[in-house]
Each structure stands twice: as structure tokens, then as C-alpha cells.
Amino acid sequence: MSTSAPIRNAMTIDVEDYFQVSAFAPYIERDSWPTRECRVERNVDRILAILEEGNVKATFFTLGWIAERYPAMVKRIVAGGHELASHGYGHLRASDQDRAQFMQDIGSAKAILEDIGGQQVLGYRAPSFSIGPGNLWALEALHDAGYRYSSSIYPVQHDHYGMPDAPRFAWHPNGSEGLLEVPITTVRMGQRNMPAGGGGYFRLFPYALSRWMMQQVNQRDGQPAIFYFHPWEIDPGQPRPDGINLKTRFRHYVNLAKMDSRIQALTRDFAWDRMDRIFLKQA
């Protein structure tokens, strides 16, 4: 009796540095970014080593701002067989831009990444999952800009983002010929979607719980899970800016020291691949 191959899940990394996270925006001036210690390159190189050891191919949603400053790092991502995708240019929330500004942001990021990486950029993820009920026009704009898929809507209730009534699995918001939206993974519990695809929740929850939730998506729903994390999440030695409120501080720093080993465990416990190869035909 033959057994079917395990479902391939999507491993994704949002390539930004610690000082660029949206929650730090009230405390860190954007004008100060060029003068701050960047740690993204060393962290991405560590991630590449983990993925190589686990024989995992992943999708790197990369800021244009980062790519301009670390082109060799971008080339190493591509050389490792990973997908290069867009996180916009300067980590501006999509919900804070009008259509013209958004088109400029996603267009410039795509051009920069394609020029450096030498491969077509098909995917986009909005900073802080900032596409929702108030700016669904952004999905049409992404399609117009030449993107084929987005992973920007998180179907959860959260104080900074979320569209809890959105579909839990890949869908075409504007019809079958439009952009494919691939949401971060959730598990349905009662009347709520529980976050199960990475970020601060993955650091907060026990690893066994996160593993169980992703297994539920694979086994009960028969769907691939989409997992995400950031390079700064494997870096417990990162600088700690002054003045951060307690809630933000807890969310950002909780269990950073455990993240490296947890990512390694994920590479052993699940089958992984790139977003484009899982969700796009002929990718």
C-alpha cells in the first residue's frame, strides 16, 4: 500500500531589520535608519545555513531598501535556490498610502529586486499585513504592477492588522484571472481563527502547540501551511532602543533566544518549499 507524499508547506522570511518593524515606528525616526547598525545580513546568512542544512527552499519577501544596501546578500538568496519576492520598498504600510504612492512603492521594489536578483519577482507581502477591508484596491494594483500573488491578508483579529472574515486558504479576490491571495495560516477553533503561521505567536506559544496547529491544517484541512518569520527574530543580541512601551517590548523580544532552534525543528518536522512552486502553476 503506497502512502502519499507529505503536503509541502511554504517557508517564508520577511527580510527587514529590527529598526524597521512597524511597532517601532513611533520610537525610531525613519531618517535615522541609514545611521543605525544593520544586522540583517548576518541574520539572513544564518537563515540560509539553517535552510541548507534542512534541504529547505523558501521565499524571501525582501525590502527594496535592504536589497539596495546588500545586493550580495540578495544574490546569495537566489543562488541558494530560493524565491525572491517583494516586501515593498521602505516598509510603509499599504494602509498608510494612496494608490499612486502604493504603485510607486511596489513598482520600485519589484524593479530593484529583479535587477539585483536576475529573476522575475512574482510575489508580494504587505508590511504588517496591511491590506484589509479598507484598501482591497491594493490587490488590483499589485496585479496591474505585474505581481501574480500576494500574501498580505491575515484572517485574524489583531489590534494592528487582520481581516478575520477573509478566506483561510488561497483565493482570488478579483476573480480567477486576478491576483492570488495566500493568507498566513490559521486554525479554526470555535468561532475564531487562531494564528498558526509564525511571527510573535510562534515565539510565544510552546513549540508543540504550533506544530500541532500546522499539522491540523495539513491533516484535517488538507492544505499547505504558510509560515513566516523575520531575520531579527533569530537575533537575541540586537540593539534595544530606549523608550519602547512594555507591550511592544514584550511582543518584539519574547523568546528570541529560542527561535534559531525552533526554526531548525520546523525544517525537520515538515516538508517545505517556495511559495511560487506551491501556489502558482508552471512556476
The CATH number given to 12-279 is 3.20.20.370
pTM of the predicted structure, to 2 decimals: 0.95
Q: Is 98 exposed, middle or buried (0-12, 13-18, 19+ CB in 10 A)?
A: exposed
240's enclosing H/E stretch is: none
DSSP bridge partners of 188: 193
Taking only the tens of pLDDT, the chain with its 283 residues reads 445 788 999 999 999 999 999 989 999 999 999 999 999 999 999 999 999 999 999 999 999 999 999 999 999 999 999 999 999 999 999 999 999 999 999 999 999 999 999 999 999 999 999 999 899 999 999 999 999 999 999 887 665 666 888 899 999 998 767 899 999 999 998 888 999 999 888 999 999 999 999 999 999 999 999 999 999 999 999 999 888 999 999 889 899 999 999 999 999 999 999 999 999 975 4
**Geometric angle at alpha carbon 165, from 159 and 168, rounded to 5°:** 100
